[in-house]
Structure 1
Amino acid sequence: MNKQPKLQLKNVTKTFGTKVVLDCLNLSVETGSILSIVGPSGVGKTTLLRTILGLEKVDRGQFFLDGIAFTPQDHSQNNVGIVFQDYRLFPNLSVMDNLILAPVRVQKKSSIQAQQEAQNLLDLLQISEQAQQYPFQLSGGQKQRVAIARSLILRPKILCYDEPTSALDSQNRQQVANLLQQFQKLSMTQLVVTHDLDFARQVSDQMFELRSEQ
């Protein structure tokens, strides 16, 4: 019996004016796998990611999660989380406050519950000592981990990364690879948009090459 893919895109088409960026694109991501979306600059990798996140509305096509159709713009079920390339941490908030902001305000959790869940993630990611620090006090690798924790605390079904190694040195790059593989052991399905082919080959179960004619 074939395993049901976690995420499927069927005949997804996206245009900007007269330019066709995604043309009847089909994509399938297995449950608990790491899929890297690769290809040259300007081919539509980030656009594809933004359609999955619901930040761009497609012209045509369908999205399925565990075989059930869903609308990416409907964020009520928190299907997909994202770690942005520039992290997008709030500079005026501590690490802990960055993490608990959405659970408290959006998911209406108590501050005590949110802080406990945040602390568990900080422990998992080995940055618990930075809980009361501010983003400007963190290294690039530490900011990356905080951004990951901020996405994970919302318990998304799929976690996406936009160029996760672009601003990191080789040591932090390897740490990110280790984290992705660690989350995979927890059955987290992950999508990675990257120009870094060596990184993609190292971490991925699947690679999807986006070409201009797709």
Structure 2
Amino acid sequence: MSDFVNIKIDGKEIRAKKGETILRIAGENNIYIPILCYAPIFPAQANCRLCLVEIKNQRGLKTACSTKVEEGMEILTETDNIKKTRNTNLKLLFVNHIGKCPTCIRKDRCELKNLTIKYKVYISDFKGKQLDIPVDDSGVVVFDLNKCIKCRRCIFACKTYGSDVLTLKNKGFNTVIATKNGKKLKDSGCIGCKQCAEVCPVGAIYINR
């Protein structure tokens, strides 16, 4: 049995390794698909819903980060339906995100901001209730979770490289990243690896200087 499958992405014929995701195969073939919650070293989360693709003869949009390639797949990455849904999802990510862009430490490297520019998304179209979370600057990194988009990269970074002290707490609108023991970062058991700050896409976590 072959270890490869034949697929098409945007009409391009590709011989892809079986078991790989659409996102990985697209990247290997210089086909861009936007991501926010995904990082290659962590499990696929499919939280941000930005890596959406259409697959011929399959209903609905699929997340490229979590969908594995299969023989004969014909995948599209830029249909009108994808563009409309992706832009709505980008706006929804900004609804509860307090955009302090001019003063943000990641103002020139913010992945969320850069995607809104790339796709010409006017974030003022959506505005919702915002959380008011005290900034925690007690540790080696600063937690300004009013900027958090709940991508969960920090949780996986902490679990993989740190002391596994971060988790999601509450539900729905009130969902927040928090320490497992409910204390400030300096009292959480954090070992100071700073990897949560390295992977944060929006400047909600940054190195305390």
Tell whether the structures are fold-level matches, with TM greater than 0.5. Answer: no
TM (norm. structure 2) is 0.31
- Report which of the two structures shows the higher radius of gyration computed on alpha carbons: 2
- Larger helix fraction of residues: 1
Structure number with the bigger relative contact order (C-alpha 8 A, sep ≥ 6) is: 1
